[in-house]
Structure formats: C-alpha cells, structure tokens
Structure 1
C-alpha cells in the first residue's frame, strides 16, 4: 500500500512562479543540490519579525540541538538576502537549535523572494512541518488575507487546504479573548473552540471553557453542555418575552396603583388573567377593601 504524500495545493510552485519549487530543492539528492546550498554564518542571520509561530518549546529546541550536535543540520534552512543580513523564510527552529549547539554556520538555500512569497512560505513551512497551535494558525491566515488582499478561496488554494477549513479556523478569532488565550496556551483544543462558538453569550462561553479545563471534558461532552446552555438560554428568552407586558396593561396597573395606593400586578393568560393586590397589614387590607366596595 502506498502512502499518500500530504499535498500543498498549488502551494510553492504557484508562489515562486517560474522559480524551482522549494520542495524540489529540498528533496533533491545531495550531489544535485550541493551547488545551491550555502553555508551562512549564524551571526549574519536574523529571524523574521512576523513569523507565524510566536512560541517555541524550549524542550523541543533542546532536543533538536542535541541531535544537531551529533548529526549536524540535515536539512538546510531557507533564507533571503535583506540589506546586509539574511532573513529566515523557513527553519527558525533549526536556526535556534544550531545557535544553542554553538555552531558557527548553517546550511541554507538562499531564495530571491518577495514579501508576499516569504509570508506565505513561512506559513506553509510551519503548517506542514511544525503544526502551529490553532490561534497562531488563525492569526497567520488573517494576516495573510489582510496584508495581501487574498480571499479565503485563494488562500485555501495556495496552502492546500479547503475553504471550509480556512473559514472554521478564522472563526476561532470570534471567541472571547479569554477563550482564545486558553486555545493559544494549549488548555483547550481546536475542537473545543469550534464547539464553544455555538454559545453567543461571551460570559457563558468563558464559564463553560473554565469547566472544560477543570473537569477535562472531551469535545463530545462539550457539545452536550453547549446544547444545555442554548436550551437554558431559549427558555430564559421565552420567559422574558412572555413576561413583557403590553403598554395598555402597564397603564391599567399604574391607574390601579394610584387608586388603591399599593402595588398591583396584572397577569394575562390565553383564556383568563389574574389581578394581584398587595397589602401590608390588617388596617391596609381594610382600607383597600373599603375602596373596592364603595
């Protein structure tokens, strides 16, 4: 049985137009790509400021650093020349790990890439190889669309995802900021986030998110809890609607209050209604009785 390679859609070849695709450069045999690989001093390399991945696990970098000490950097990083430095397009983890391993230089492929190409390539590299957390991914999609005026279907085609996947990812940014933080920190999964979007009330959304974290609710159980929250909300809304009085009834209540000198409540039903008159002592009851019987 053959294993299907995870695709990149139009991906890199589309982004680089007539340039050789990065996948091809990376996958070439050593003797075929040797002339394209340069060894660049780590002191001449800088990270990209708007790199999609904002957090790198120290333990992961340490493990990679230990591997590099033994085996070296097996796969070159991708750079572009910018001013008098080289800017990282893809491979910041390898760059950081190499510095930690006290290397002086690192193998790299230097590309002549524009800002839009660099942004897309950095995102693709992270998605395909490192798995951004759900919020990092959503923010990266949002920035790409805004910075380069891309539509969802254009972005989806470029990075090899479905349009619905892009849409669902972007929707996570509509969650309450506290819930977004839980997702960013890994306390909630993307599945939890999608289900919590079903709760429009932000306070209820946060309360359930906290309960998920405290009790370890899985996504299926969270779906059931969201249904309960929505049902309770509907019941509450119906009660509020049914309790809302017509202005005519409110006016009658006010007239009775002025006449009787006490609180009066009129309740309407489908076939019958109810008048509630409050009194606060035997004397008060006698006073009201005399008003009603004269």
Structure 2
C-alpha cells in the first residue's frame, strides 16, 4: 500500500545558501552530456562552492541511509537531465586521493552516470563525519526518499556512532522527538516484519499496532494477517485485542493449566500459529489437551482449511 509522508519544513537552504540555488537555476547547474574540459569553480558562500568534478571521482558515503533505488525512477531522472540539464548540484565533501564523498544527490549521480557524463556540478563542502552523516540523512528524509526502516536505521546509526541523543537528532533532522522515538521502535520488530515495512506492504500505523504485542511470534502472525486479509489499522487493533483476550484467558486458567504452559508448549503453539498464519491457543495437560484456532470470516477459515489439507 502506498504510504504518503509529509516533507519537513527545513530544507537544503540551511546547508546551501539561497544565492547558490539561484545561481544553479540560472544556468551554472545545467550541463550537457559532454562537459567543458576546464573545471569551473565559483565561490558562492562560506558554506561551499560550485565546481565541476569528475563523476568517476565521486564515491558513495558510508552514511547513506537509502538502500533501494528504482531503476525506472533513475531512467526518468536521466531523461530530465538530458533535456533540461542538472538543475540542482549534488552535495559532496573532498576527501583524500582527490576523491569526493557524496553527501546528498545519489539519484542525480546515478542518472548522470547512466547518461555517460564525465563531469557533474557539485557543491563542495568542508564537513566533519557527523555533519556529513546528518546532511545526507536530512536531504533524504526531507525528500521522503527513505522508507520507514531506512530512516530508523539511519537515525540509529547517528546515535550509535556519533554519541548523539534523541533530542540532538531531533534538532538536526527538524523532526519531533516523539517521531524519532517511534522510528527507533521499529527496529525492535522481527526482521520479517521490518521487511514488510520496507516494501510498503504494511504502514507505520500498522507497525505501531504490531508493537502492542510483546510476543515476537505473534507480531509476525499479525503482520502476515494484515497483508493477507487487507486489514486496515483499526482491523489490526481489533486483532490485537483478540490476541490479548486469548492470553488473558490462558492466564486465568487453573494453576495446573498454567504450569502446563511450559516453554516447550509455547514453542509448539507459536509454530502452529506461524504455519497457519492465525492466532492459536494450545492447552495441554498430561492426559489431554485442546487447540483453539481463531479465524476472521469464511475466507480466512477456507484458507486455514486448505493449509491443513481439509476439503469441504
């Protein structure tokens, strides 16, 4: 499902001066597939300068949070650059060996490489490691380039590697602290659920509901049910309520029944639930037991029966 995300009010204007943008739009930033052999440098502000640099000298940043790029998106951007020129320079910082580390503009760089361009207009900056990481994340988050998991991992990287607090990250990215905290909570979900979020199969709203379950196996079950049954957030909340009610019933059983709910029994219960992609309660004693399977409507029942090999 498509997830719409609001862009932030803070822009690259905090990094590149308004004068730089104006200069780029007026033609400095435009370039054809065959760039001028002589490098063009124009001092624009204390923050950096425009320069034509060799495309082959630009290396990816280790702080790049975005991991997935659409080939169609890159091709469309390449077509635009071919006809209109590069209207906005990439953002880099100079490093050793005559190379430049990319801070922002991964798609633009890929599109220019696709066109076979030898040089690209860049805003060259002097930035520390932490500043470089923050700037790359800022641009990506502003442009909604990151999926929720990429954003969460990027924020976690900043905190872990540069000893930043959530408040500091909030200020740098221009996002509320609660938003930063919610992003980081996504990293507590099972890898499979994180994959669903990355691909857009479930929304951050769904993820918040899933986090209401403490059991990781149940989190996986609920995520799969959301996808297979097309549950909206409210439907997911109802599923969580039922799961918790089932757990409450188990907790209110007799002492003997509670004792029977050993780690082994719980493991079997979770495996059955994962196999059926349904909420399952396993009640076991020395002489007998009971398996309770919950389903959502006739279609869900039919699905479970097919998995069990039951024909009706």
TM class by shorter-chain length?
0.7 to 0.9
CA contact (8 A) 2:90 2:105 kept: yes
The equivalences for 1:111-126 within 5 A come to: 111-126=125-140
Query: 2:267 — aligned with what?
Result: none
Q: Report the CA distance between 1:22 and its aligned residue.
A: 2.0
Q: Report the CA distance between 1:187 and its aligned residue.
A: 1.8
Q: Secondary structure at the match of 1:234?
A: helix
**Structure 1 241/139 Cα, relative in aligned 2: closer, same or farther at 3 Å?**
farther
* Structure-2 separation of matches of 1:188 and 1:133: 11
Q: Deviations over 1:160-210 (max 9, x none)?
A: 111110001100111112111211222221111111000111111111111
* Structure-2 separation of matches of 1:26 and 1:213: 46
* Structure-1 separation of matches of 2:25 and 2:139: 24
Q: Report the CA distance between 1:50 and its aligned residue.
A: 3.0
CA contact (8 A) 2:167 2:177 kept: yes
Query: 1:101 — aligned with what?
Result: 115
Which of 110-119 and 224-233 deviates more? 224-233
Q: Which of 132, 135, 140 is matched with 2:154 structurally?
A: 140
* Structure-2 separation of matches of 1:241 and 1:125: 57
* Structure-2 separation of matches of 1:171 and 1:114: 28
Q: Report the CA distance between 1:80 and its aligned residue.
A: 0.7
Q: Which of the pair has more CA radius of gyration? A: 1
Q: More helix per residue: 1 or 2?
A: 1
Q: Report the CA distance between 1:26 and its aligned residue.
A: 4.6
Q: Secondary structure at the match of 1:49?
A: coil
The equivalences for 1:192-211 within 5 A come to: 192-211=206-225
Aligned length: 235
In structure 2, the gaps of 5 or more residues are 1-6, 29-41, 43-48, 260-285, 288-312
If the length of structure 1 is used for normalisation, what is the TM-score?
Answer: 0.74
CA contact (8 A) 1:39 1:108 kept: yes
CA contact (8 A) 1:26 1:75 kept: no
CA contact (8 A) 1:25 1:33 kept: no
Which of 106-115 and 207-216 deviates more? 207-216
Q: Report the CA distance between 1:133 and its aligned residue.
A: 0.5
Provide runs of 4+ in structure 1 moved above 6 Å. none
Q: Secondary structure at the match of 1:75?
A: coil
* Structure-2 separation of matches of 1:77 and 1:240: 67
In structure 1, the gaps of 5 or more residues are 14-20, 246-262, 265-294
Q: Report the CA distance between 1:28 and its aligned residue.
A: 3.3
Q: Secondary structure at the match of 1:239?
A: coil
